[in-house]
Amino acid sequence: MIGSFAIAWLGRLSWHAFPQAAVTRGAAVGIVLGALVVLTLLTYFHKWRWLWHEWLTTQDPKRIGVMYVIVAVAMLLRGGSDAVMMRLQQAVSVGSNNGPFSPDTFQQVFSAHGTIMIFFVAMGLMFGIINLVLPQQLGSRDVAFPFMNALSFWLFTSGMILINLSLVVGEFSAAGWLAYPPLSELKFSPGVGVDYWIWSLQIAGVGSLMSGINFLVTIVKNRCQGMTMMKMPMFAWSVFGSMILVAFAFPILTVTLTLLFLDRALGMHFFTAGAGGNAMMYVNLIWAWGHPEVYILVLPSFGIYSEIVATFSRKRLFGYTSMVWAIGAIVFLSFTVWLHHFFTMGAGADVNAVFGIATMLIAIPTGVKIFNWLFTMYRGRIRFTSPMVWFMGFVFLFITGGVTGVLMAVPAIDFQVHNSLFLVAHFHTMIISGVVFGFFAGLTYWLPKVLGFRLHEGLGKIAAWCWIIGFMLAFFPLYILGLMGATRRLDHYDASLGWQPLFIVAGIGAAVIVAGIVCQLLQLAVSIWQRNERRDLTGDPWNGRTLEWSVPSPTPFYVFTKLPVVTERDQFWADKQAGKKQGGYEDIILPKNSGVPIIIGGLSFLVGFGAIWHIWLLAIVGLLGIITALIVRSMNDEPEYVLTAKEVERLENARRRKLKEYAVYE
């Protein structure tokens, strides 16, 4: 009786699931204590009701965007600590010294680093920024499906909690961030680590797919009057390209993860060695998602650069049509190159050559974009604010990554550097300068719109320089190490190889990047502290060009008092030049708050947790709960409410009065 009860409600869970090693135990205690402190503070200050009504149940994309960014920044700190641990291990684990971490811990650390940085940092920042900016840029108040937008966020968060829970209960995958079988199969990874990986990505991935569809429909349906596709801001275009990729690529991920889970949980043989399974199929499938994923991340970042360069050069974006075509070419080509991640599998010269050439073709539209940005600056009046420092860092570093990328696109060269630290250096160059710098630049650029005050410029510039210099110190040595024959993911190497000095330099680089992150946190803290002196009273702190700058900062929840009408590409700039001001009041329909998304997020967490630990009853309860929640939601006939024009006017006047009070600080 007790036995069957335990199997139903505990599955594989037992006391042994709690961490044994000192490092993981410390992390687990840290996470639990951190959570307790937050909960205590919320209770002490009676903030639960506020949190629930203002944030947890909100369907306002601006608030959802802020929550995405908060989660992503927290995950940046987690993934960053993983990176520091890796650098530490590789700097000291030479010869007779085995370093601070055991091979198994180290392998969990780098698997977690890659997974967290891509899924929960880069994707989180991307969806956060899109939520904050896209609807306003389109002259819209909201996304197409506000409920689904909130649901996406809570699924993302549910996956995030699950992946971090692996530190406290059980273990994480030690199979690398893409968990190739046979290593990730039950035979070689019998623990719950790979299951944690599968389910945190599965749940977050479903959220991403819904976001992708949501933003795609938003762009197609929610553009304001007069905004044809070719009058959209370039950021909206790049999001459009990226979300097409999400809609096509994420289903592949969902299926692949499901098949791997079926192998592990039900003893099927999709990817096993033997019994008819084929691991090569997994490698193909995961990269058929994985390669487009890179462009999913980089395209919105390109869009951000397009906005920033035009604004800070006080010039129209150069080659708008070229840029659109370049995005289209990248979207198409990104689905034709996945095999370049495994030329060394032995597919043969014809296949390798075709994929190699397809890969190089991507360099053409990407190069075009860089030249268009440079010529946006040409004959401009460039202000080198911190977003521009990020941009210039991007231009110089991204090109070096492009060169090494073209080298590796030649299969015969790739045979020599594949899976080496040369490759690690290459893709970090692309992702850090191409994606991360772009998102940081975007946050610096748009946070005044969100927060209502500007960030500290000096600290922002120091942070950018720390990242740029730290990046070069951390990753250029890895190129050389790769040429010396150093494989990625080594937890130990021989002293006679002479690699240690370069690993130490890389470690110093990581420390400089950490200093950059500290500056960024400091920048935020100082800016909040000095918020009264830093208020943006105009709503247009940068002399912007697109519609989001036409509304006050922070953006009111109704965004536009009356939806704008567009006749030009840079409508707000054109309005300013003509001395025109769009305005007026109208009745506004807005979504009501709903607790259903966060509840579904919680239930999907139960499904994931149940599936990981084989507590099937819990998984079924969670699944039934989700279905029930969706049925209840679909019974709700009034998910929206009307804000009358009169009420909008009253709110506007109150806001104006408040502005006058702030103006005292000026």
Partner 1 sequence: MKTKHKLGLIFVVFTVFVSIAGWYLSRRSIPILQPAGQMGRKELHLMLFALLLAVIVVIPTYAIAIMIAIKYREENHEKSRKRVKYDPDFDHSRLFESIWWGIPIVIIGILSVVTWNSSHALDPYKPLASNKKPLTIQVVSLDWKWLFIYPKQHVASVNLAEIPVGVPVDFHVTSDTIMNSFWIPALGGQIYAMPSMDTQLHEQADKTGSFMGSPANIAGHGFSRMDFTVRAASQTGFDAWVKQARQASKQLDNQTYQALAKPSDNVPVTYYSGVMDGLYNDIVMKYMMPQTGAAQ
Assess 384 for contact with partner 1 (CB under 8 A): yes
Report in angstroms how near the CB of residue 350 gets to partner 1 at its nearest. Answer: 8
Q: What residues between 242 and 281 interact with partner 1 by CB under 8 A?
A: 273-275, 279-280
Q: b vs e for 279-309, b when ≥16 Cβ sit within 10 Å of the residue's Cβ? A: beebbbbbbbbbbbbbbbbbbbbbbbbbbbb
Of residues 636, 634, 657, 654, the one with CA closest to residue 646: 654
Residue 435: C-alpha distances to residues 63, 347, 438 (Å)? 23, 31, 5
Assess 7 for contact with partner 1 (CB under 8 A): no
Assess 579 for contact with partner 1 (CB under 8 A): no
Cα Rg of the chain, angstroms: 25
Do 138 and 239 touch, CB atoms closer than 8 A? no
Q: What residues between 512 and 571 interact with partner 1 by CB under 8 A?
A: none
Local structure of residue 229 (DSSP, 8 states): G
Assess 23 for contact with partner 1 (CB under 8 A): no
Candidates 183, 504, 511, 522; binder of partner 1 (CB under 8 A) is: 183
- Beta carbon nearer to partner 1, 247 or 399: 399
| Binding track, positions 118-157, relative to partner 1; x by CB under 8 A | ----------------------------------------
- The alpha-helical segments, DSSP class H, found in 491-584 are 500-529, 571-578
- Beta carbon nearer to partner 1, 127 or 271: 271
The rounded distance, in Å, linking the Cα atoms of 140 and 214 is: 14
Which region, judged by CB under 8 A, interacts with partner 1, from 170-178, 199-207, 447-455, 528-536?
A: 170-178
The rounded distance, in Å, linking the Cα atoms of 211 and 130 is: 10
The rounded distance, in Å, linking the Cα atoms of 436 and 428 is: 10
Assess 576 for contact with partner 1 (CB under 8 A): no
- Beta carbon nearer to partner 1, 267 or 367: 367
Do 208 and 247 touch, CB atoms closer than 8 A? no
The rounded distance, in Å, linking the Cα atoms of 123 and 144 is: 20
Residue 616: C-alpha distances to residues 278, 542, 664 (Å)? 28, 54, 62
Assess 344 for contact with partner 1 (CB under 8 A): yes
Report in angstroms how near the CB of residue 454 gets to partner 1 at its nearest. Answer: 18
The rounded distance, in Å, linking the Cα atoms of 311 and 309 is: 6
| Binding track, positions 409-448, relative to partner 1; x by CB under 8 A | xxxxx-xxxxxx----------------------------
Report in angstroms how near the CB of residue 392 gets to partner 1 at its nearest. Answer: 6
Q: What residues between 353 and 382 interact with partner 1 by CB under 8 A?
A: 353, 356-357, 360-361, 363-364, 367-368, 370-372, 374-382
- Beta carbon nearer to partner 1, 458 or 501: 501
- Beta carbon nearer to partner 1, 50 or 325: 325
Binding residues for partner 1, total number by CB under 8 A: 93
Residue partners of 429: CB distance under 8 A and separation at least 6: 397, 398, 400, 401, 404, 471, 475
- Beta carbon nearer to partner 1, 25 or 314: 314
The rounded distance, in Å, linking the Cα atoms of 526 and 529 is: 5
Which region, judged by CB under 8 A, interacts with partner 1, from 18-26, 206-214, 226-234, 479-487?
A: 479-487
Q: What residues between 324 and 343 interact with partner 1 by CB under 8 A?
A: 342
| Binding track, positions 483-512, relative to partner 1; x by CB under 8 A | xxxxxxxxxxxx--xx--x-----------
Report in angstroms how near the CB of residue 14 gets to partner 1 at its nearest. Answer: 22
Q: What residues between 53 and 112 interact with partner 1 by CB under 8 A?
A: 103-104, 107
Assess 406 for contact with partner 1 (CB under 8 A): yes
Assess 468 for contact with partner 1 (CB under 8 A): no
Candidates 10, 169, 281, 395; binder of partner 1 (CB under 8 A) is: 395
- Beta carbon nearer to partner 1, 393 or 460: 393
Of residues 514, 517, 513, 512, the one with CA closest to residue 459: 517
Assess 383 for contact with partner 1 (CB under 8 A): yes
Report in angstroms how near the CB of residue 179 gets to partner 1 at its nearest. Answer: 10
Secondary structure (DSSP) of 295-351: HHHHHHHHHHHHHHHHHHHTSPPTTHHHHHHHHHHHHHHTTS-GGGGGGGGT--HHH
- Beta carbon nearer to partner 1, 208 or 284: 284
The rounded distance, in Å, linking the Cα atoms of 175 and 198 is: 11
Candidates 20, 45, 266, 346; binder of partner 1 (CB under 8 A) is: 346
The rounded distance, in Å, linking the Cα atoms of 208 and 202 is: 10
The rounded distance, in Å, linking the Cα atoms of 425 and 422 is: 5
Q: What residues between 303 and 322 interact with partner 1 by CB under 8 A?
A: 313-322
